[in-house]
Amino acid sequence: MKDFNFNISTKILFGKDQLNNLADEIKKYGQRVLLVYGRSSIKKIGLYDEILKIFKDNSITHFELSGVVPNPRIDKVREGVKVAKENDVDFVLAVGGGSVVDSAKLISAGFYTDSDPWDIVIKKEKVTNALPLGSILTLAATGSEMNTGSVISNEETGQKLGWGSEYVRPKFAIMNPEYTYSVDSYHTAAGTVDIMSHTMENYFTLNDGAYLNDRFAEGILKTCIKYGPIAIKENDNYEARANLMWANSWAINGLISAGKATEWSVHAMEHELSALRDITHGVGLAILTPAWLLYCLDDKTSEKIATFGYNVFDIEKTNSQIYDAKKAIDALKDFLESLGINLSLKEEGFSEEDLPIMAKNCLENKNKSQIDGFKTLKEEDILNIYKKAF
C-alpha cells in the first residue's frame, strides 16, 4: 500500500428530512447565496420553491445562475463568476447533479481571481482561495458533492478537462434519495455506469496490496449491479435510490483510491467523446470500458480482472485466469447492455474518421505521450480501443 493522506471534511446530511438543516448549514458560512442550478427539473419536483421559502424564512439573500447543462460549459461558469462578484455573494449553493456542482466549484474558485476561470482549468492560474460552497444533490452519478474535482467543457477549444483543489471541497451535501425519483431511466442507467466507472478506474491497478480498498470497491460495484436495474424499473424505489446515491459518493471521494497508483484511463478517453459529440458521459464510459478491459487483458492483468469477475459477478473459478477474466468482461458487457445503453460509438453518432482525431487529442489534452494506467496506452492503443468500441 502506498503512503496516502485522507481527509474528507464534507458534512453529509443524508435522508428524507435533511432539507430542514439547509439554513443552519449555510449560515455557518454566509448570508448572500449564489444559487446554481440546471434547467427545469428542480422546479418540477418542487425543490426550488422549498429552497426559496427557506431562504425567505431565514433572511438569506440569494442570486441565481440557472441553465447549467450536462458536460457543463465554461461560458456558464464565467456568467456565474460575474453574478457572484457583482453581488458580493459569500456562499455558493449548487442544486442539481454533477454538472451543477462542478460549475459551482469553478465559480467559487473563480470568484477570487481576476483571470478567466478557464485558466484555472488549464492550470495556468493556481487556486489560492474559494467561496465556501454546499450542494443539494439530485442525481447519483459524479460524486462531485464529496470531493475536490470538477470537469468543465470549452466549446471554443473543443476541450473537456478536469481540475481540482482542496479549496472547493463542498462544506456540506444534502442527499435526499427522493430528489432522484424524477431522473428518467436512461439517465439513471448512465449515472449507474458513471459510478461503476469511477470505481473501476480506482480498482484496476496492479500489485499495490490495497486489499481492503479493493473490497470496498467491489461493494460499490455490487451495489450498482443490484440497484441500478431496480431504480431503472421503479423510479421511486427508496432503497435503490439511497444505495445508488451513497455509492456515488464513495466511488470517488478518495477512499477506494487511497494507497493506490490510479490513472483513470477510460475517463481520459471518454472526455474526447463528450467533447466532440456531447454524448452523455455515463454512456461514453459504458461504451469504452469493456473495450478497454479487453484490450488490457494479458498475463499481467488477468488476475485482477478475474478477481473482479469472481467477487463482483460471481464468475465461477476455472483453471484459466485468462478465460475467467474474459468471462468477467462479458458479464460486465451483458450488464451494461441490460441497462438499455448502446455499446457502440457508431450508434452514438460517431464516424470512423473521428477516431484518430480523438486518439490524438486525448494525449494532447493530458500533455502526455502515453497514459500509464492498468496497461500503458500510447496513441495507437487508444485508437485501437476506440476501434474496438466502434
The CA distances from residue 313 to 98, 195, 247, 317, in Å, are 28, 16, 17, 11
**By CB under 8 A, residue 252 contacts a second copy:** no
From the list 54-62, 102-110, 134-142, 237-245, the region that binds a second copy by CB under 8 A is: 237-245
Of residues 38 and 177, the one with the C-beta less far from a second copy: 177
Residue among 49, 239, 347, 372 that touches a second copy (CB under 8 A): 239
In the block, cell 478517453 appears at 269
Which residue stretch of 11-19, 29-37, 38-46, 86-94 sits at the interface with a second copy (rule: CB under 8 A)? 11-19
Report the residue from 110, 134, 149, 259 that binds a second copy according to the rule CB under 8 A.
259
Choose between 20 and 61: whose C-beta lies nearer to a second copy.
20
Each residue 158-177 as x (binds a second copy by CB under 8 A) or -, in order, gives -------------------x
Residue 142 as a binder of a second copy (CB under 8 A): the answer is no
Is residue 313 a contact point for a second copy (CB under 8 A)? no
Phi-psi region of 368 (alpha: psi -120 to 50; beta: other; left: phi over 0): beta
Is 204 near a second copy (CB under 8 A)? no
The residue (of 54 and 69) whose beta carbon lies closer to a second copy is: 54
Q: Judged by CB under 8 A, does residue 211 bind a second copy? A: yes
Give me Rg for the CA atoms of the chain: 20
In the numeric block, which cell numbers belong to residue 356? 484518430
CB pairs under 8 A, 24+ apart, for 212-216?
213/255, 213/256, 213/257, 213/258, 213/259, 213/260, 214/256, 214/307, 215/311, 216/250, 216/255, 216/256
* Total residues binding a second copy (CB under 8 A): 42
231 lines the binding site for a second copy (CB under 8 A): no
Taking the CA atoms of 64, 66, 70 and 71 in sequence, report the sign of the dihedral they define: negative
Half-sphere exposure of 2 (CA within 13 A, CB side): 14
For residue 151, what are the β-bridge partners?
162
Cell of 90: 459569500
Residue 15 engages a second copy in binding (rule: CB under 8 A): yes
C-beta separation of 29 from 171 below 8 A: yes
245: nearest Cα among 369, 144, 131: 144
Residue 3 or 88 having the CB closest to a second copy: 3
Q: How far is the CB of 122 from a second copy (least distance, A)?
A: 29
Does 233 bind a second copy (CB under 8 A)? Our answer is: no
Closer CB to a second copy, residue 25 or residue 125?
Answer: 25
- Applying CB under 8 A, which residues contact a second copy? 1-18, 177, 209-213, 215-216, 218-220, 222-223, 226-227, 238-239, 242-243, 246-247, 250, 258-259
